[in-house]
Amino acid sequence: MLEFTFNRISVVGAGGWGSALANLLANKGIDILIWAYEKEVVDEINTNHTNSTFIKGIDLNHNVRATSNLSELFKFSEIILSSVPTQYIRSVFSSINLSNKDLHIINVAKGIEQNTYHRCSEIFGDLGITMDRYSILTGPSHAEEVARQIPTTVVVSSENLEFAILVQKIFTTETFRVYTSTDTIGCEFGGSLKNIIAIASGIIDGLQFGDNTKAALITRGLAEINRLAVAFGANPQTMSGLAGLGDLFVTCNSFHSRNRRVGELIGQGKKLSEIINSMKMIAEGIASTKSVYELSKKINIEIPIIEKVYEILYEDLDPLLAIKQLMSRSSKNEWW
C-alpha cells in the first residue's frame, strides 16, 4: 500500500509545462520546490512569483519556490514531477541515485531518445527507477490553458495502478480531470509520435492547404502511431483515447503547439536551423522524428508520413514534393 503525504512535491524543470503543473498543485495547498537551469528564472520565481521566460502573464502561487540545486529537490520530497525534455532526462538525472526505493517519478515529457530509441520510462529505468515507481501524465493539455484553469482532461499511466490512482488524486481539480491507465507503452508512444504528426500539420498550415488535407493527415497519422505502438505491445484502444487521438487533435490544431509552429514555418520556407535558433523552448518532435524514423527502419514498420517529415527536416526535401509523393503512393486498403 502506497502511503504518501502530498504536502510536498518536487518539480524538475521550470519550463511552461512544469511551471503550470507546479502552480496547479500549489493552488491545492501543496508546497512546491521547482528546479530551473537558468539562474534568472530561479530568481524571478522566488522574488516576483512569475516566470516570464516560459509562462507569461501567470502569477505563481507563493507555495512555489525555486532552486538551482538539484540535490535539494530529492531531500524535499519523495515524489518527483519531471518536466525535463526527453533528450535531457539522462544528463539531468544521471548524478542522482534514483535506485532509492522511496522515490517515485511522475514524467510529463513526450519523446523518444536519440541513439537508444528509448521511451522516457526506459530512460528512467536505465537510471534506476523501477516501473512500479514510474508514471506518465499525458494527454491534450497546453500549459498556457492549464495555467489559466481552462477545463482539461488528461490520463496518468503506470504499470502500478495503485501509483496511477495516487497521481490521479494528487492532480485532480475542478478544472483538471485525470483518468488512469496501465498502458504506459501506448501512452508514451501516443504522446511522442503526435508531436511528429503535428509538425506535418504545421507544414500543411504553412502551405495554406485546407481542412480535407488536415483531416487526412490526422487520421492516417493516427494509423501510423497505432501501428508502431502496437508493435511494441501497446493496447490499440489507447490510441483512441486522451493519450492518442486527444493529444494528436489538440497538437495538430492549436496555435499553442510548438511542434505545429515548427512545421508551419517550414511550410512558409524557413530552414530548420533558423527555426531552432529562434525558439526559447524545445519542440520535442524534432528530435523524436529522427529517433522514430531510425527505429522504424530497424524493426521494418512502414510509417510513410513520419518518413516524409524526417526527409523534410533532415534531408531538405521540398514539402510540396513530399505531399505529392505521399498522395501518389500505391493504393492500399484503409486498414493495412
> In the predicted model, what is the mean pLDDT of residues 210-230?
96
How far apart CA 23 and CA 245 sit, in angstroms, is 27
* 8 Å CB contact between 16 and 54: yes
Among the ranges given (39-53, 92-106, 224-238), the one the predictor scored with the smallest mean pLDDT: 92-106
Give the global pTM.
0.94
What pLDDT does 27 receive?
A: 97
Name the residue with cell 475542478. Answer: 174
Distances 323 to 142, 201, 306, 318, 319 between C-alpha atoms, Å = 28, 12, 12, 9, 6
How far apart CA 220 and CA 222 sit, in angstroms, is 5
Report residue 3's pLDDT band, with 50, 70 and 90 as the boundaries.
Answer: low
pLDDT single digits (tens) 162-208: 999 999 999 999 999 999 999 999 999 999 999 999 999 999 999 99
- Return the percentage of the chain with pLDDT > 70, whole number: 99
What pLDDT does 305 receive?
A: 98
In the chain, what are the domains? 8-182 (3.40.50.720), 185-327 (1.10.1040.10)
Q: Which three cell numbers stand for residue 205?
A: 498550415
Q: Which residues face 134 on adjacent strands?
A: 105
Residue 67, classed as helix, strand or coil, is: strand
Q: Which three cell numbers stand for residue 82?
A: 519531471
Name the residue with cell 491507465. Answer: 181
Asked if pLDDT for residue 5 goes beyond 70, the answer is: no
What pLDDT does 1 receive?
A: 54
Enzyme catalytic residues: 194
Q: For residue 328, what is the enclosing H or E element?
A: none
What pLDDT does 2 receive?
A: 64
> What are the φ/ψ torsions at residue 156 (nearest 5 degrees)?
-110, 130
pLDDT single digits (tens) 95-134: 888 888 889 999 999 999 999 999 999 999 999 999 999 9
